[in-house]
């Protein structure tokens, strides 16, 4: 019986199924849509995956004339893509592919049986297909039973499945976390033994799988799976390094457990969660013992450099690297101000907002989430202070352009007023004016010119300019 949630979707693809049937082929809906329909999850995705006994040339011919657009980038792997009415379709010939021991790409072999295709898929919960148009559920490896039992298994022996595609070992972490599953003991054993096989997987694929794990609602179980199986040591060695040895004299919180807790407290935003994952990776290198116990001085600076290095290794986009590095670098800034020493002056608020720039809201959330203390009084105090800071930011935003703080004069005005050409002196003048803007707020042009004159008079014995532009 077809799940009720799938009925509209089945009606939508019925014409496509009929085209394949009329040509003597079978068409099956596979992948996440079948799994999520069984679980009763919403089917709001715009892409659908199918498998068929038709070969790539036949698939292409059947899609043309039905789809609005067809693309062939995956044809040599058996996949033809199509677009119809803003929905993306991918139709793939039944496959029986496997990776060579030293290859990053599969050796593609086609099959005529859907059961063979399903056997090569990652997990039993994904190895189910809905036959079209007769709506018969094909579940030869017990995927529905495993969903009911909250169990993660592979259709074939785990070692064989992970040999086909080692990235599946990382993907297991995402499914454990995203679907609240427990790994089969044989799966855990195979991952632990085969973790080094990730070396044949491209950094880009590893990065994309890590991103998918980080944005599930509760990624903690997946992160712990990466650490306990040794996978994290292969792709993100800074993470298991946070499991600092505890001793009875110099006690400190478990940095690894703290990090996982911080990740789970943040919103499922990729950049924010990457920053949460990496925010304390500088602690192992900066740990020291002193009269006040354990310290991690400047771990945010060291950690920012380490985060940049790791993200470069994983081929992250430049803008993501810059954002995460900045968040790691600034994640302790809030704690540099306290009510006892005057608290947050307007100048301090401006500098905090300018340094964070477009990352301000993420920085505030990271700061809030970084509080994982069990001391409720401390937690309430931090939350109150953050509320106060955010209220100050909101108030200043109403008075001035807090999100785009610039000097009151631009470079052309400085050069014309001082009668100097482009060069280092203009940069120094603008830096001086920006510091004034941060310290005192908007000055206005006339006062800015006056303060510039005073500054210029102090530079190498220069006299104040008297002419105004």
Cβ count within 10 A of residue 255: 19
Q: Return the structure tokens found at 409.
A: 């004069």
CB 165 within 8 A of CB 205: no
Q: How far lies 198's CA from each of 139, 228, 234, in Å?
A: 29, 16, 7
Q: How far apart are CA 89 and CA 73, in angstroms?
A: 13
The verdict on residue 246 lying in a domain is no
Residues 204 and 278 in one domain: no
Residues 140 and 155 in one domain: no
Could you tell me if residue 357 is left (phi over 0), alpha (psi between -120 and 50 degrees) or otherwise beta?
A: left
Residues 396 and 425 in one domain: no
Q: Can you give the pLDDT at residue 469?
A: 44
Q: Indicate the residue among 147, 170, 189 that finishes a domain.
A: 147
Q: How far lies 303's CA from each of 51, 308, 371, in Å?
A: 46, 9, 18
Determine whether 335 is exposed, middle or buried from the number of CB atoms within 10 Å of its CB (0-12, 13-18, 19+): exposed
CB 220 within 8 A of CB 213: no
Residues 11 and 143 in one domain: yes
Q: 3-class DSSP state for residue 353?
A: helix
The verdict on residue 261 lying in a domain is no
CB 204 within 8 A of CB 210: no
For residue 18, the domain's CATH number is 3.30.460.10
Q: How far apart are CA 37 and CA 31, in angstroms?
A: 10
At residue 436's C-alpha, the angle toward residues 430 and 442, to 5°, is: 100
Residues 69 and 94 in one domain: yes
Paired with 69 in beta bridges are 83
Residue that is written with structure tokens 């703080």 in the block: 405
Average pLDDT value for the chain = 87
Q: Can you give the pLDDT at residue 247?
A: 44
Q: 3-class DSSP state for residue 27?
A: strand
Residues 163 and 211 in one domain: yes
The verdict on residue 241 lying in a domain is no
Range list of H helices, 266-345: 270-278, 283-286, 299-313, 318-330
Residues 227 and 329 in one domain: no
Residues 122 and 177 in one domain: no
Range of the domain at 412: 407-458
Give the count of domains, the chain: 4
Q: Can you give the pLDDT at residue 468?
A: 43
Longest dimension (CA), the chain: 92
Q: Return the structure tokens found at 329.
A: 């670098």
For residue 227, the domain's CATH number is 1.10.110.30
Burial 295-312 (b: 16+ CB within 10 A, else e): bbeebbebbbebbbebbe
Determine whether 236 is exposed, middle or buried from the number of CB atoms within 10 Å of its CB (0-12, 13-18, 19+): buried
Residues 55 and 20 in one domain: yes
Q: Can you give the pLDDT at residue 166?
A: 95
Q: Indicate the residue among 96, 118, 147 that finishes a domain.
A: 147
Q: Return the structure tokens found at 27.
A: 């068409």
The verdict on residue 255 lying in a domain is no
| 327: Cβ contacts below 8 Å, ≥ 6 apart | 271, 272, 275, 279, 359, 362, 363, 366
Q: How far apart are CA 295 and CA 136, in angstroms?
A: 62
Q: Return the structure tokens found at 393.
A: 């930011």
CB 141 within 8 A of CB 155: yes
Parts of the chain with a pLDDT under 70: 1-6, 43-46, 97-107, 245-253, 337-343, 400, 402-404, 460-469
Q: Return the structure tokens found at 21.
A: 């049937």
The verdict on residue 225 lying in a domain is yes
Residue that is written with structure tokens 């040599």 in the block: 76
Residues 442 and 324 in one domain: no
The verdict on residue 262 lying in a domain is no
Residues 64 and 113 in one domain: yes
Q: How far apart are CA 384 and CA 443, in angstroms?
A: 32
The verdict on residue 135 lying in a domain is yes
Q: 3-class DSSP state for residue 52?
A: strand
CB 332 within 8 A of CB 280: no
The verdict on residue 247 lying in a domain is no
Q: Can you give the pLDDT at residue 465?
A: 52
Residues 103 and 220 in one domain: no
Single out the residue of 40, 159, 186, 174 nearest to residue 101, CA to CA.
Answer: 159
């Amino acid at each position: 019986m077809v799940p009720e949630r799938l009925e509209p979707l089945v009606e939508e693809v019925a014409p496509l199924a009929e085209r394949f049937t009329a040509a003597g082929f079978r068409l099956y809906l596979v992948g996440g849509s079948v799994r999520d329909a069984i679980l009763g999850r919403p089917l709001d995705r715009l892409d659908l995956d199918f498998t068929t006994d038709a070969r790539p040339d036949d698939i292409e011919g059947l899609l043309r004339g039905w789809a609005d657009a067809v693309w062939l980038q995956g044809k040599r792997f058996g996949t033809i893509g199509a677009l119809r009415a803003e929905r993306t379709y991918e139709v793939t010939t039944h496959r029986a592919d496997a990776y060579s021991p030293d290859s990053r790409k599969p050796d593609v072999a086609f099959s005529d049986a859907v059961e063979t295709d399903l056997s090569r898929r990652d997990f039993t919960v994904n190895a189910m297909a809905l036959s079209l148009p007769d709506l018969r559920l094909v579940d030869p490896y017990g995927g529905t039973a495993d969903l009911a039992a909250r169990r993660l298994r592979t259709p074939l022996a785990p070692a064989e499945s992970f040999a086909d595609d080692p990235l599946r070992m990382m993907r297991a972490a995402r499914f454990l976390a995203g679907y609240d599953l427990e790994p089969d003991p044989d799966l855990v054993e195979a991952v632990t033994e085969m973790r080094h096989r990730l070396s044949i997987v491209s950094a880009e694929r590893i990065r994309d799988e890590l991103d998918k794990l980080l944005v599930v609602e509760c990624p903690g179980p997946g992160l712990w799976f990466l650490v306990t199986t040794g996978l994290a040591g292969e792709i993100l060695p800074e993470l298991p390094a946070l499991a600092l040895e505890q001793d009875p004299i110099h006690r400190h919180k478990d940095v690894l457990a703290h990090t996982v807790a911080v990740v789970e407290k943040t919103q499922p935003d990729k950049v924010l969660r990457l920053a949460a994952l990496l925010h304390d990776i500088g602690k192992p290198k900066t740990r020291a013992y002193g009269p006040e116990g354990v310290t991690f001085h400047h771990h945010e600076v060291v950690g920012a450099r380490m985060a940049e290095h790791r993200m470069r290794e994983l081929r992250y986009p430049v803008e993501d690297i810059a954002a995460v590095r900045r968040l790691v670098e600034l994640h302790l800034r809030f704690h540099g101000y306290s009510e006892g020493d005057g608290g947050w002056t307007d100048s301090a608020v401006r500098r905090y907002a300018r340094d964070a720039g477009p990352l301000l809201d993420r920085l505030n959330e990271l700061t809030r989430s970084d509080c994982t203390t069990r001391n409720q009084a401390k937690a309430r105090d931090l939350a109150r202070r953050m509320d106060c800071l955010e209220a100050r930011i909101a108030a200043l935003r109403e008075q001035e352009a807090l999100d785009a703080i610039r000097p009151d004069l631009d470079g052309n005005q400085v050069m014309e007023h001082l009668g100097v050409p482009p060069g280092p002196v203009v940069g120094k003048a603008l830096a001086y004016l920006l510091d004034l803007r941060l310290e005192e707020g908007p000055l206005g042009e006339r006062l800015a010119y006056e303060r510039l004159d005073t500054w210029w008079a102090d530079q190498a014995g220069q006299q104040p300019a008297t002419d105004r532009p």
